[in-house]
Amino acid sequence: MNAYSFFRRGFAPRHQRNFIETDRGELFSHADLERATARVASFLAGLGLKAGDRVAAQIDKSPQGLFLYLGALRAGLCYLPLNTAYQRGELDYFLGDAEPRVVVCRPESEPLLGDLARAHGIAHLFTLDEAGAGSLARAVEGAPEEFSDRERADDDLAAIIYTSGTTGRSKGAMVTHGNLTSNAEVLRQFWRFSAEDVLIHALPIFHVHGLFVAVHPILLAGARILFQRKFDAKAVIADLPRASALMGVPTFYTRLLAEPGFGREACRGMRVFISGSAPLLMDTFNAFRDRSGHTILERYGMSEAGMITSNPYEGERRGGTVGHPLPGVSVRVVGAEGRPLAPGEPGDIQIRGPNLFAGYWRMPEKTREEFTADGWFRTGDVGQWDSEGYLAIVGRSKDLIISGGYNVYPKEIELLIDAMPGVTESAVVGVPHPDFGETVAAVVVRAAGSPLIEAQVIAHVRSQIAAFKVPKRVLFVGELPRNAMGKVQKNLLRERLLDTAHEPGY
């Protein structure tokens, strides 16, 4: 069924209970949710949008932004969330590739998105700010407060999530209604969410973590959300006594640990702390347990599959691992020619299950490449089992960098740097960072006689792409190390960057 209709089954008996309480004191009940999403769905349908048409949104976090997503689901449309850090070049590609019928943006972005919308023949452009105001809010205000959800099949498209591409071209992961509902029900049960739960939601809602994982199980459980527009450690600590759960990226937990007011007393009413989107360092895992009395539950997921594995709710949560496959999800670790590997042997992680996406938008060849002949999806991650079936992620075969929970693929940045005058070639790698898990660093070979400096490289990249992808360090070398096959040895570059981290001028 329509994913929204599925979620309603969980919260319908609690219509008059609060669903969202914001950091500004606003209250929205489940009944308010029904009315607001009905208005959005009615308005979009009134524009002539048909089932499967795309609605793109690059907006700041607000309850109304969440209602926009859920209203699009009700109307049978395909939602396209876009990171607020994306710049002109990235947005131009996404709008041209996805061909949305409607674009919603922040008021300050209207001139840029207006130009791009006109260039791509998109007729409908609306604004929505973090207070929930804007031309979209005005447009839906008078729309009907009742709407019959459009019927959708499990394999009908619900969202397109763009992921960075190793070739520099982003791929649109096609997420279906069946993907959303199956993963939501598994997470509600596995993480024990009930109507009594209160989740602190401090994640962005342009990302799978904040939009799907931290919302869908809460809807199904009829639970409540303390809605913080941005993560602030002091604000989270202030909300802990009223909450039972927190979902976050590792950065959340390092910043909580940096606050003197964080400790066992603040956490006394909490039921679970969940971490994902980036590796959790063992130092953070252990320090958090010692300080709070809670063991962080780490899990593993991706845009193409939602959640894949999780440490147990009941039982040992093992630091340095992402636990076991979730119910209904199959995971294997294989070596050459698909040979299953024994515990302790690292290999490629492959998955299958009802949570697995339908393929890449308008990239049939890329979709075929990423699936094995027997139907398993190649995640691109490298992992290994331990003797008790816990999975550890030990590397990324596609050179993915995860910085503060966001995916960064080096090739996209390398292409920008290589195109600069005075650059012969470059290589981009991730290096450890105490707050973000990893940060981006670039190693550049200058052309003979080039006066290029670090600040110029950083400024050039910053002008082209999102800030979280911009190198924080640039190291200049005479040549890049290569193996006998000519492949750049990025492991040696990482070591060199670590060795020179404190050298003046590097």
Q: What percent of the chain has pLDDT over 70?
A: 96
Across 478-502, average pLDDT: 79
> Does residue 213 have a pLDDT over 90?
yes
The secondary structure of residue 270, as a DSSP letter, is -
Least-confidence region, from 90-104, 155-169, 173-187: 155-169
The string of pLDDT tens digits covering residues 81-122 is 999 989 999 999 999 999 999 999 999 999 999 999 999 999
| Same domain? 408 vs 438 | yes
Residue 28: the pLDDT is 98
> Does residue 484 have a pLDDT over 70?
no
Residue 409: the pLDDT is 76
Residue 502: the pLDDT is 47
Return phi, psi of residue 276, to 5°: -170, -170
| Structure tokens given for 37 | 């999403």
Q: Is residue 268 part of a domain?
A: no
Q: Is residue 494 part of a domain?
A: yes
Question: Where is the domain boundary, 350, 373, 396?
Answer: 396
Half-sphere exposure of 213 (CA within 13 A, CB side): 31
> Does residue 168 have a pLDDT over 60?
no
Q: Which amino acid is at 146?
A: E
Q: Is residue 196 part of a domain?
A: yes
CA-to-CA dists, residue 231 to 211, 260, 438, angstroms: 15, 17, 19
User: Rounded CA gap, 363 and 173, in Å?
Assistant: 10
| Same domain? 311 vs 452 | no
Residue 52: the pLDDT is 97
Q: Is residue 249 part of a domain?
A: no
| Same domain? 76 vs 216 | yes
Q: Is residue 237 part of a domain?
A: no
| Same domain? 78 vs 100 | yes
What band does 399 get if pLDDT is binned at 50, 70 and 90?
confident
> Does residue 167 have a pLDDT over 50?
no
Sign of CA dihedral 230, 234, 240, 245: positive
| Same domain? 476 vs 377 | no
CATH code, domain carrying 99: 3.40.50.12780
User: Rounded CA gap, 125 and 134, in Å?
Assistant: 11
User: Rounded CA gap, 450 and 417, in Å?
Assistant: 14
Q: What percent of the chain has pLDDT over 90?
A: 82
Q: Is residue 269 part of a domain?
A: no
Across 392-399, average pLDDT: 76
What's the number of domains the chain is made of?
3
CATH code, domain carrying 474: 3.30.300.30
Across 55-74, average pLDDT: 98
> Does residue 169 have a pLDDT over 80?
no
Long-range contacts of 19-26 (CB under 8 A, 24+ apart): 19/224, 19/225, 20/63, 20/66, 20/224, 20/225, 20/227, 21/224, 21/225, 21/226, 21/227, 22/63, 22/227, 22/228, 22/229, 23/226, 23/227, 23/228, 23/229, 23/235, 26/63
The string of pLDDT tens digits covering residues 277-291 is 888 888 899 999 999
| Structure tokens given for 454 | 């670090």
Residue 170: the pLDDT is 87
> Does residue 74 have a pLDDT over 50?
yes
Residue 161: the pLDDT is 97
Question: Where is the domain boundary, 352, 377, 396?
Answer: 396
The string of pLDDT tens digits covering residues 407-430 is 787 888 988 999 999 999 999 999
The more confidently predicted of residues 383 and 126 is: 126
| Same domain? 42 vs 103 | yes
Across 148-174, average pLDDT: 87
Calculate ∠ Cα 91-441-400, nearest 5°: 60
Across 1-10, average pLDDT: 96
Residue 129: the pLDDT is 98
Q: Is residue 346 part of a domain?
A: yes
| Residue 134: domain span | 3-230
Q: Is residue 283 part of a domain?
A: no
| Same domain? 98 vs 185 | yes
| Same domain? 385 vs 407 | no
CATH code, domain carrying 362: 2.30.38.10
User: Rounded CA gap, 487 and 461, in Å?
Assistant: 24
> Does residue 165 have a pLDDT over 80?
no
| Same domain? 211 vs 303 | no
Across 435-464, average pLDDT: 95
Residue 407: the pLDDT is 78
Question: Where is the domain boundary, 396, 426, 444?
Answer: 396
| Same domain? 100 vs 37 | yes
DSSP assignment of 366-426, as one string? HHHHHB-TTS-EEEEEEEEE-TTS-EEEEEETT--EEETTEEE-HHHHHHHHHTSTTEEEE
| Same domain? 160 vs 211 | yes
Q: Which amino acid is at 375?
A: G
| Same domain? 310 vs 365 | yes
